[in-house]
Amino acid sequence: MPSLSWLHKQNAEQVVTKVPHHLLTVQSVHGDTTAGNLLIQGDNLLALKALLPAYRGRVKCIFIDPPYNTQSAFEHYNDKLEHSLWLTMMLPRLQLLRDLLSEDGSIWVTIDDNEAHYLKVLMDEVFDRKNFLCAIAWEKRYAPPPDTKDFGYVHDVILVYRKSAAFKRNLLPATDEQAGRYKNPDNDPRGPWKPENYTCRYTAEERPNLFYPIRQPHTGEDVWPKRTRVWAMSKESHLRNEAEGRIWWGAKGANSVPSLKNFFSGVAQGMMPMSIWKHGLAGHNQDAKKEALALGETPFSTPKPERLIWVVLHVATQPGDLVLDSFLGSGTTVAVAQKMGRRWIGIEMGEHARTHCLPRLEKVVAGEQGGISNAVNWLGGGGFRFLTLGNAIFDELGRIDTSVVFTDLAAFVWQQETGTPAVHAFTTPCLGVHDGTQYFLLFNGILGDKRPEGGNVLTYEVFDALVHLYPFDGPRVVFGEAVKLPPTLRARERVTFKKIPYSLRGQGAT
Q: Which domain, by its residues, includes 216? A: 176-267
Quick one: pLDDT band at residue 327, thresholds 50, 70, 90? very high
Per-residue pLDDT, 300: 60
Q: How far apart are CA 506 and CA 241, in angstroms?
A: 62
Residue 279 shares a structural domain with residue 356: yes
Quick one: pLDDT band at residue 73, thresholds 50, 70, 90? very low
Amino acid at 11: N
Per-residue pLDDT, 244: 94
Whether the predicted pLDDT of 315 surpasses 90:
yes
Per-residue pLDDT, 296: 67
Q: What is the pLDDT of residues 83-136, one digit of tens each?
A: 788 899 999 999 999 999 999 999 999 999 888 999 999 999 999 999 999 999
Does residue 396 fall inside a structural domain? no
Q: What is the pLDDT of residues 38-59, one digit of tens each?
A: 999 999 999 999 998 788 899 9
Taking the CB of residue 247, how many other CB atoms lie within 10 A of it? 17
The separation between the first and the last C-alpha atoms of the chain, rounded to the nearest angstrom, is 42
Per-residue pLDDT, 368: 95
Whether the predicted pLDDT of 407 surpasses 90:
no
Whether the predicted pLDDT of 479 surpasses 90:
yes
Does residue 2 fall inside a structural domain? no
Q: What is the pLDDT of residues 253-302, one digit of tens each?
A: 777 889 999 888 766 567 789 999 998 888 888 877 777 777 766 656 56
Residue 165 shares a structural domain with residue 193: no
Q: Please name the residue ranges forming H helices in 68-170.
A: 83-100, 116-127
Q: How far apart are CA 126 and CA 420, in angstroms?
A: 26
Whether the predicted pLDDT of 35 surpasses 60:
yes
Q: Where are the beta strands (DSSP E) in 255-329?
A: 259-263, 276-277, 322-325
Q: What is the pLDDT of residues 191-238, one digit of tens each?
A: 899 999 999 999 999 999 999 999 998 888 899 999 999 999 999 999
Q: Which of 333, 364, 389 is the last residue of a domain?
A: 389
Q: What is the CATH number of the domain that holds 34?
A: 3.40.50.150
Residue 228 shares a structural domain with residue 160: no
Nearest Cα residue to 103 out of 25, 165, 31: 165
Per-residue pLDDT, 207: 95
Q: Decide if 166 contacts 60 (C-beta within 8 A).
A: no
Per-residue pLDDT, 74: 44
Residue 154 shares a structural domain with residue 196: no
Q: For residue 501, is the peptide bond before it cis, meaning its omega torsion is within 30 degrees of 0?
A: yes
Pairing of strands 437-441, 101-111: unpaired
Q: How confident is the model over 413-441, as a mean pLDDT?
A: 87
Residue 206 shares a structural domain with residue 108: no
Does residue 318 fall inside a structural domain? yes
DSSP-derived letter for residue 174 is P
Rounded CA Rg of the chain? 29
Q: How confident is the model over 342-370, as a mean pLDDT?
A: 94
Amino acid at 424: H
Does residue 452 fall inside a structural domain? yes
- Percentage of the chain beyond pLDDT 70 is 90
Tell me the sheet residues that pair with 214: 223
Q: Which of 365, 389, 413 is the last residue of a domain?
A: 389
Q: Residues with Cβ < 8 Å from 290, sequence gap 6 or more?
A: none
Pairing of strands 38-41, 343-348: parallel
Does residue 123 fall inside a structural domain? yes
Does residue 448 fall inside a structural domain? yes
Residue 146 shares a structural domain with residue 278: yes
Full-model pTM? 0.77
Per-residue pLDDT, 510: 54
Q: Where are the beta strands (DSSP E) in 300-382?
A: 322-325, 343-348
Per-residue pLDDT, 366: 96
Distinct helix (H) and strand (E) counts, the chain: 17, 21
Taking the CB of residue 47, how many other CB atoms lie within 10 A of it? 24
Whether the predicted pLDDT of 455 surpasses 80:
no
Q: Which of 322, 356, 389 is the last residue of a domain?
A: 389
Residue 430 zone, left/alpha/beta (φ > 0; ψ -120 to 50; rest): beta
- Total domains in the chain come to 3
Residue 285 shares a structural domain with residue 252: no
Quick one: pLDDT band at residue 387, thresholds 50, 70, 90? very high
- Percentage of the chain beyond pLDDT 90 is 56
Q: Decide if 9 contacts 88 (C-beta within 8 A).
A: yes
Q: How far apart are CA 77 and CA 68, in angstroms?
A: 10
Whether the predicted pLDDT of 424 surpasses 80:
no
Q: Decide if 478 contacts 499 (C-beta within 8 A).
A: no
Per-residue pLDDT, 331: 94
Residue 287 shares a structural domain with residue 362: yes
Residue 112 shares a structural domain with residue 47: yes
Does residue 483 fall inside a structural domain? yes
Whether the predicted pLDDT of 21 surpasses 60:
yes
Residue 133 shares a structural domain with residue 25: yes
Taking the CB of residue 197, how many other CB atoms lie within 10 A of it? 11
Q: What is the pLDDT of residues 130-185, one digit of tens each?
A: 999 999 999 998 877 776 667 888 899 999 999 999 999 998 887 667 777 889 99
Q: Decide if 408 contacts 63 (C-beta within 8 A).
A: no
Mean pLDDT of the chain: 87
Per-residue pLDDT, 268: 58
Residue 337 shares a structural domain with residue 418: no
Does residue 1 fall inside a structural domain? no
With 0-12 / 13-18 / 19 or more C-beta atoms within 10 angstroms meaning exposed / middle / buried, residue 272 is: exposed
Residue 311 shares a structural domain with residue 430: no
DSSP calls for 373-411:
TTTTT-----EEEEEEEEEESB-TTSSBPTT--HHHHHH
In what order do the strands lie in the sheet containing 193-197? 193-197, 259-263, 247-248
